[in-house]
């Protein structure tokens, strides 16, 4: 959003100042753009701030699905980082501008549609690049309850405390956590790493403690629910009588062998059924071997390696999940990739990689691809697709409208 906002502001700001009689032109009502910003987090307020600063007549309305503004600055910044929260003071000054208005508790796509915003404003700025089809599907969704099912227990969950907070504070929903799932964990979590401890404490609090008056009121009026089911392993999908839709899922009740991250879920022999009409599989990721010439550990789903150096294959390196398994977040992957790159640099410096032999690189690969009728997509090809997505997004009043059909992408770059 930042880069696109920069371009819009530059067009509205700098070029106009070069026109003769600019001050006189700005006094006309016709040049007062009406702009709305969807979302009141940092991106939304910074966008509004920049627009107001660089166009003296622009009017900006900020829409937010929550009643309260400031997004993650309000909900995601820890109390021990007050200097970060100070940015709220700047956002408050923006909101106090006589050319800015804030409208909370308005869900775009449900309460008001994007096309309706487009008819009302000269410009609409979104915090999302969700496709129109997905947006329409979400707006029409009749889902009332969602169960998140895991084979192991609370101490092995893979979500973060930030994600849990967002779920707990999700407007119009209430969490369903069974206090019995957390029995005996109070003493166990004393010696576990702090991030896992804080996450588990929040789950325990949400499950056991009576909600505050405000929270209780919100949950009482909630129309949707979500809950966690631990130590359940999927066995089979149960079909409806028509044989075309699901009516539920049969699950094995499990027990844990071991403790902590290494605990394994073992079936107890007990089985139960959960009634549901939609089932989404999200059971993890496992790398697959590329070909038989590359060492591969099928049990761990990784390429055996040492600091990214593939064992028994000089000059071959790996990085990411195929190197360490499907764990961690983006920053983990970044650091992991840096480590692998450092291994390559060291091998170049020490002569492990022989540079005396000439290599043709893509020239050689290109001839192979050509002989097999394969046409690679270059970065300039991607830029054509990118431009098309941005152009479509502009028509829809958002940063981009993603193209999801690979054949359509290829058709775009073939012209």
pTM score = 0.56
Strand 305-306 to 309-310 pairing: antiparallel
Helix (H) or strand (E) holding 2: helix 2-12
The residues, ordered by sequence, that sit 6+ positions from 142 with a Cβ below 8 Å of its Cβ are none
Integer angstrom CA distances of residue 364 from 360, 367, 368, 378: 6, 6, 7, 16
Q: Are 146 and 223 in contact (CB under 8 A)?
A: no
Name the architecture of domain 2-127: 3-Layer(aba) Sandwich (3.40)
Phi-psi region of 312 (alpha: psi -120 to 50; beta: other; left: phi over 0): left
Pairing state between β 34-38 and 246-257: unpaired
Distance CA 175, CA 322 (A): 35
Q: How far apart, in whole angstroms, are the C-alpha atoms of residue 96 and residue 98?
A: 6
Supply the pLDDT for residue 155: 93
C-alpha distance across the termini of the chain, in Å: 29
Q: Contact, 34 vs 120, CB < 8 A?
A: yes
Other CB atoms within 10 A of residue 344 CB: 16
Residues in the chain: 415
In this prediction, residue 219 carries a pLDDT of 83
* Burial of 355: CB neighbours in 10 Å, binned 0-12, 13-18, 19+: exposed
H helices present in 157-287, as ranges: 161-168, 185-188, 194-208, 213-220
The encoded tokens of residue 205 equal: 């609090």
Rounded Cα gap, residues 160 and 141, in angstroms: 26
Per-residue pLDDT at 11: 27
| 10-residue mean pLDDT series, the chain (415 residues) | 32 33 38 72 76 79 75 54 65 85 76 70 66 70 90 90 87 90 87 90 89 81 92 94 91 92 91 91 70 78 84 76 70 70 74 66 65 75 81 81 81 81
**Token output for 119:** 């008819």
- Please answer whether residues 283 and 149 qualify as being in contact, where contact means their C-beta atoms are separated by less than 8 angstroms: no
Classify domain 145-275 by CATH number: 3.50.50.60
Question: CB of 139 within 8 A of CB of 110?
Answer: yes
CA dist., res. 322 & res. 294, Å (int): 12
Q: What is the pLDDT of residue 238?
A: 94
Is 108 in a helix, a strand, or coil?
A: strand
For residue 31, the 8-state DSSP code is G
Q: Are 388 and 415 in contact (CB under 8 A)?
A: no
User: For residue 181, with 0-12 CB atoms within 10 Å meaning exposed, 13-18 middle and 19 or more buried, which class applies?
Assistant: middle
Phi, psi torsion values for 50, nearest 5 degrees: -65, -40
* CA nearest to 37, candidates 57, 54, 60, 58: 60
Nearest Cα neighbor of 4 from 414, 411, 408, 390 is 390
Helix, strand, coil tally for the chain in percent (to 5)? 45, 20, 40
DSSP 241: T
According to the model, what pLDDT value does residue 8 have? 28
Task: Please state, in angstroms and rounded to a whole number, the distance separating the CA atoms of residues 352 and 349.
Answer: 8
Specify the DSSP element, H or E, that contains 330: helix 330-350
Whole-number Å distance between alpha carbons of 324 and 336? 9
If you ran DSSP here, which 8-state letter would residue 172 be given?
A: T
Domain ranges of the chain: 2-127, 145-275, 362-414
Q: Which of 57, 58, 60, 59 is nearest to 23 (CA)?
A: 57
């Amino acid at each position: 959003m930042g880069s696109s906002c920069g371009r819009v502001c530059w067009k509205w700001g700098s070029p106009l100042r070069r026109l003769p009689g600019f001050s006189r032109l700005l006094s006309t009502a016709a040049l007062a753009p009406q702009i709305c910003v969807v979302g009141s987090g940092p991106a939304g307020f910074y966008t509004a701030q920049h627009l107001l600063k660089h166009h003296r007549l622009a009017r900006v309305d900020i829409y937010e699905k929550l009643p309260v503004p400031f997004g993650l600055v309000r909900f995601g910044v820890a109390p021990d980082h007050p200097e970060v929260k100070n940015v709220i003071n700047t956002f408050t000054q923006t909101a106090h501008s006589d050319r800015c208005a804030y409208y909370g508790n308005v869900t775009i796509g449900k309460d008001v549609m994007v096309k309706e915003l487009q008819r009302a404003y000269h410009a609409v700025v979104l915090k999302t690049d969700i496709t129109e089809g997905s947006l329409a599907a979400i707006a029409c969704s009749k889902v009332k309850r969602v169960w998140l099912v895991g084979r192991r227990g609370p101490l092995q969950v893979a979500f973060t405390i930030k994600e849990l907070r967002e779920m707990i504070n999700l407007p119009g929903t209430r969490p369903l956590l069974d206090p019995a799932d957390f029995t005996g964990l109070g003493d166990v979590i004393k010696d576990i790493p702090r991030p896992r401890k804080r996450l588990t404490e929040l789950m325990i609090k949400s499950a056991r403690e009576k909600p505050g008056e405000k929270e209780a009121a919100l949950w009482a009026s909630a129309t949707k629910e979500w809950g966690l089911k631990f130590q359940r392993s999927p066995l089979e999908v149960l079909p409806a009588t028509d044989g075309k839709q699901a009516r539920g899922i049969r699950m094995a009740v499990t027990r844990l062998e071991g403790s902590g991250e290494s605990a394994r879920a073992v079936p107890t022999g007990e089985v139960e059924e959960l009634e549901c009409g939609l089932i989404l599989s999200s059971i993890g990721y496992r790398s697959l071997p590329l070909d038989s010439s590359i060492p591969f550990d099928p049990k761990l789903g990784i390429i055996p390696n040492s600091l990214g150096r593939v064992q028994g294959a000089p000059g071959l390196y790996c990085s990411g999940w195929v190197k360490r398994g499907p764990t961690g977040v983006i920053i983990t992957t970044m650091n992991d990739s840096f480590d692998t790159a450092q291994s390559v640099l060291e091998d170049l410096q020490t002569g492990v990689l022989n540079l005396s032999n000439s290599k043709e690189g893509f020239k050689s690969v290109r001839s192979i691809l050509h002989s097999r009728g394969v046409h690679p997509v270059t970065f300039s090809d991607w830029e054509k697709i990118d431009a098309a997505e941005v152009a479509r997004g502009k028509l829809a009043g958002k940063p981009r409208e993603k193209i999801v059909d690979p054949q359509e992408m290829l058709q775009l770059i073939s012209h």
